[in-house]
Amino acid sequence: MNSKRLLYITNNVSGSGGLERVLSIKASYLADVLGYEVHILTLNQGDASLFYDFSSKIIFHDMNVVRSPIRYIRGYRKGIRDTVNKVNPDVICVCDDGIKGFFVPKIIGKSCPIIYERHVSKLIAEEVWKPSFKKKMITAIKYMLMNYGAKSFDAFVVLTNGNLKEWDVKNIKVISNPLSFFPKETAVLDNKKIIAVGKQCGQKGYDRLLLSWKEVIKKHPNWSLEIYGASNPDHDFEKLSRELEVDDSVRFCAPVKNIKDKFLEASIHVLASRFEGFGMVIIEAMSCGVPSVSYDCPHGPSDIISHNEDGILIKNGDIEAFGQSLIELIEDKEKRISMGAAAKENVKRYLPENIVPQWDMLFKSLIED
């Protein structure tokens, strides 16, 4: 068994987001199957309960940092240094999509290889919802800081081939996210239900999904749309659904731990995002045999979906074409079944046993070097 110590440095992992889900799968596999001694350092997590299941073998550490800027920086630096000295890891992985994560090598020096894991597109810095001149200036500064910090890592890992184009960094490589589950069951694709999964924010594009949906229910008023994701006071999509007069057929739901059951009840999955880091919900839908209709946004969907084979890719922002593709899948059950079967087969390449060993190889190569 491998006895190498691995330290993940991240933020709070008690939430229901994609990063937390992926880390629970990956870290647990490394601990339970590959024999790593896995430590996770969190930020201001305290005694919060975990939304996802992590291996009982994983050792958690937490640093409590106050919000005052100067004290925050000092506390963050001290928390990381103290934990690194205590754990003495063979490899450190930084899973923090904020600016501060880029400066971990500067904070602790180079006592061991340090890897940066990028879980989102660089576009997340661009405030795509309502950009302004001020926000564009802030974005430019953020990019400058990220590009500077990125060069300090021994390896820089992104999720998709599209993400490779966003970074001018040496030692960059692609390792996709692993699947959360692969059920024996397959969706029957009979229910008149379409599902979307993801927090309510501008990035996820629920505004343009609702615009497409308005046209869909004109032809198929007996179909429904269920959206699972944390609400956001800055983006009142429920209000928009009322304004568009589609609220009778749209249901907004809180995140659920066992989203697999909801996918199995659906007949079509939709992803209307303006950009993505990967598209975890697409591979989860595919594992249940549910075809996806997705915008070909940067970056992720085009890496995952084979157009018209196991799902449908729509030009990013083409609201009319998005709605029309939904109508076509609603009206053609045989096409849904064919795509769903192909999706369940093609998604096997993302099983943990195919993805996590790629991390094992990277860790070993860096340790040996």
List the pLDDT tens digit at each of the 369 positions of the chain: 457 999 999 999 998 888 899 999 999 999 999 999 999 999 999 999 999 999 999 999 999 998 888 899 999 999 999 999 999 999 999 998 888 999 999 999 878 999 999 988 877 766 555 667 787 788 888 889 998 999 999 999 999 998 888 898 889 999 999 999 999 999 999 999 999 999 999 999 999 999 999 999 999 999 999 999 999 888 899 999 999 999 999 999 999 989 999 999 999 999 999 999 899 999 999 999 999 999 999 999 999 999 999 999 999 999 999 999 999 999 999 999 999 999 999 999 999 999 999 999 999 999 997
Nearest-5° Cα angle at 343, 341 to 346: 110
Residue 41: closest CA among 109, 92, 90, 102: 92
- C-alpha R_g of the chain: 21
8 Å CB contact between 276 and 204: no
Structure tokens at 229: 């994701």
Determine the pLDDT at residue 16: 86
Structure tokens at 111: 């006592």
Element (H, E) at 115: strand 114-117
Torsion-angle region of residue 94: left (phi > 0), alpha (psi -120 to 50) or beta? beta
Rounded (10°) angle between helices 206-219 and 319-331? 40
DSSP 57: T
Determine the pLDDT at residue 125: 62
**DSSP, residue by residue, 177-221:** PPPS---S------SSEEEEES-SSGGGTHHHHHHHHHHHHHH-T
Structure tokens at 220: 């198929």
Determine the pLDDT at residue 131: 65
8 Å CB contact between 171 and 156: yes
8 Å CB contact between 194 and 326: yes
Q: Which residues pair with 8 in a beta bridge?
A: 40, 93
Burial class (CB in 10 A: 0-12, 13-18, 19+), 64: exposed
pTM of the model: 0.90
* Coil, helix or strand at residue 194: strand
Determine the pLDDT at residue 122: 76
CA atoms within 13 A on the CB side of 157: 18
Classify the C-alpha dihedral 223-228-232-235 as positive or negative: negative
Q: Which residues pair with 62 in a beta bridge?
A: 42
Place of tokens 């890719």: 313
Determine the pLDDT at residue 110: 79
Report pLDDT digits (tens) over 256-281: 989 999 999 999 999 999 999 899 99
Give CA–CA dist 27/55, Å, rounded. Answer: 8
DSSP 171: T
Determine the pLDDT at residue 234: 84
**DSSP, residue by residue, 238-303:** HHHHHHTT-GGGEEEE---TTHHHHHHH-SEEEE--S--SS-HHHHHHHHTT--EEEE--SSSHHH
